[in-house]
Amino acid sequence: MQPSHRTGATLRAAALLAAAGLAAAAHAATVSASRPMLTSTTAANYTLEKYLQRSGTIGALVSDGWSPTAGAGDTAGFRATYTVAADGSGTHATVQAAVNAASGSARVYIAVKPGTYRATVCVPRGKPPITLYGTGSDNTKAVIVFNNAGPKPKSSNTAANACNPNTGSTTYGTTGSATFTVAANDFHAKNLTFSNDYVEDTYAGSGQQAVALMSTGDRLIFDSVRFLGHQDTLFVSSGGYDVVARSYFKNSLVQGDVDFIFGRGTAVFDGCTVKYLKGRKGNGGNHIAPATAAGNTYGFLFVNSRFTHDGASGNSVSIGRSWDEGVSTGMYRAGVSPNGQAVIRQSTMDGHIKLQAPWGASTSGRAFSPSGNRFREYLNTGAGS
């Protein structure tokens, strides 16, 4: 006897419900002590607005109404104060020369024509608001790149770079490896690539830090920007351990293999792609390493973003770990030492992410725990969620 149309529909509905139940059960299996989730109630405390509403000194933070979600603006409406062109057709041949020329209190617009600009750049404290933008058709056309690295040797009386000279050291160090450093407030970048193309293991050492961009300024916007590197690609910091400095990243790409988004700064990644590169580490690397001060509620927020990869094995890569900045192994002090904070919400997690234990031990050796660490997720999707 053939089932009626109603009976067939009922069976199909039952099958769909069963499949949904299995999917829910599979997802629920990742919600554990090793993978804590926010509730709809607690998620209200970890929004873009909450992360970006205040800055200043911890204990005396001030709300200033900063709302950067519109991004850096439409380049079609920009009027260049200076133009950088490697072929000599602009006002300056290098980005640093244009930055050095910026003065006054009004926003300075620096256009960068398509080309590869191989040099380190420092935007020092005290510079006026600067918008640095590429004039090419997309963010691959204007590339600011260099290849310094933490273990790279130098003489002790040679400056690593203008913002982080690291004189007295015989290596460049992490801060000294930065291709581009922003120490000024209110800096905006759009339609550009910041890169560190150091070839890993060129110099011996367990650390192969090579920073593409380092920031310590407040109210920074990076809109449609690429950050390319491997270990320690994007260093989001602040002017001091007790200082909150905010950055907003919109529709941008960050790629690397170890701790490639890290630091004590407060940062929101909105509609961004976070790409793990398997080349050197294969499987077993990680993406983020916030070093949020113990007294700072907000570290890194990823929203409407995607964690992806270039061919890593499934269920093999950690989301991240806490960088206990300045803390030696076994010397961590709860409530005093840095304790990285991050929330990933309403984002896509590809299948390379470890399902059951995606958060690694901290750099000082603390095992992950939901009470001892400040990492949470909320309403993420994808094979790695």
Alpha-carbon distances of 118 from 9, 115, 179, 273, 344, rounded to whole Å:
64, 10, 9, 25, 34
Write out pLDDT tens, residues 218-231. 999 999 999 999 99
Write out pLDDT tens, residues 89-137. 999 999 999 999 999 999 999 999 999 999 999 999 999 999 999 999 9
pLDDT of residue 225: 99
pLDDT of residue 12: 39
Which class would CATH give 237-327+334-385? mainly beta
| Three-class HEC string of the chain | CCCCHHHHHHHHHHHHHHHHHHHHHHHHCCCECCECECCHHHHCCCCHHHHHCEEEECCEEEECCCCCCCCCCCHHHCCCCEEECCCCCCCECCHHHHHHHCCCCCCEEEEECCEEEECCEEECCCCCCEEEEECCCCCCCEEEEECCCCCCECCCCCCCCCCCCCCCCCECHHHHCCCEEECCCCCEEEEEEEEECCCCCCCCCCCCCCCCEEECCCCEEEEEEEEECCECCEEECCCCCCEECEEEEECCEEEECECCEEECCEEEEECCEEEECCCCCCCCCEEEEECCCCCCCCCEEEECCEEEECCCCCCCEEEECCCCCCCCCCCCCCCCCCCCEEEEECCEECCCECCCCCECCCCCCCCCCCCCCEEEEECCECCCC
Enter the pTM of the model: 0.92
Among the listed residues 218, 232, 324, 350, the single catalytic one is: 232
pLDDT of residue 13: 39
Residue ranges for the chain with pLDDT beneath 50: 1-29
pLDDT of residue 30: 54
For this structure, is 138 an active site residue? no
* Residue in 370, 360, 375, 377 with CA at minimum distance from that of residue 259: 360
CA dist 282 and 268 (Å) reads 28
Write out pLDDT tens, residues 147-184. 999 999 999 999 999 999 999 999 999 999 999 999 99
Beta strand 266-270 with 261-263 is: unpaired
What's the half-sphere exposure (Cβ side, CA atoms, 13 Å) at 3?
A: 8
For this structure, is 197 an active site residue? no
Among the listed residues 218, 223, 257, 259, the single catalytic one is: 259
Domain boundaries, the chain: 237-327+334-385
